[in-house]
Amino acid sequence: MRKKIDMETSLLQNITHTYSYEEYKNMVIKYAEEYATSGEQLKERIAATLINAQRMKRIDKQCIINYNLHTLISQINRKQKWLLISESWCGDSAQCVPVIAKMAELNKNIKLEIVFRDENIDLMDNFLTNGSRSIPKLICLDEETDEIKFMWGPRPKSIQDKVSELKKNIPEITHDELVKNIHLWYAQDKTKSIQSEFIELLNKLNFG
């Protein structure tokens, strides 16, 4: 395990292009205004980026970090780097990245850095989810030692379970219908699931 961590953190150290959340959000908004997207300029990705820019603006305004999570974040007393792999066209990123950014804002010991997946494939390939380059993917590192403290992504488990159940029950479901259901679940969830999962992660980190 130590060898694997060494390999991963060496990749992290070689990253040159990282963005703050404000920089990332402004890039997504600019892409949308210019009818473009990050990475490959595919029609469906451009359309997704247009919608995601609006989703991010809405979540920025509406999301409130709950008291228990706020307390746990405030107790982090070592400097951490939260490295977040994302893309402007990713719907899960649009739903989750603003929430993670609000968490990071609550403690000056947390430095959130966002990178684009398709510009950092070697990095992404060391943090696959069931063999897939699924995003968003968050890697939390101790800033002094580069030790990986925890990882999260690409979506809350409760929503992933609903996705798996829907695919099982309706094998012929189209991609568009699946995406529609995913965003409906996010809307109904109101960021509760992602906040609950971070409470569990930070409890283990702070008191485990």
Query: Dihedrals φ, ψ of 123, to 5°?
Result: -65, -50
Confidence of residue 207 (pLDDT cuts 50, 70, 90): confident
Q: What pLDDT score does 1 carry?
A: 38
Mean pLDDT for the stretch of residues 21-39? 97
Going by C-alpha positions, the residue among 9, 44, 37 that lies closest to residue 118 is 37
Predicted local distance difference test score (pLDDT) of residue 205: 87
Computed over every residue of the chain, the mean pLDDT equals 92
d(CA 100, CA 96): 6
Q: Average pLDDT for residues 121-125, to the nearest whole number?
A: 92
Question: What is the model's pLDDT at position 9?
Answer: 55
Mean pLDDT to the nearest integer, 36-53: 96
CATH topology of domain 2-154: Glutaredoxin (3.40.30)
Q: Give the C-alpha distances (Å, rounded to integers) separating 49 from 5, 124, 146.
A: 33, 21, 32
- The predicted model scores a pTM of 0.93
Confidence of residue 206 (pLDDT cuts 50, 70, 90): confident
What's the rounded Cα separation, in Å, for the pair 60 and 154?
19
Which positions ≥6 away from 32 have C-beta within 8 Å?
49, 50, 52, 53, 54
> Does residue 6 surpass a pLDDT of 70?
no
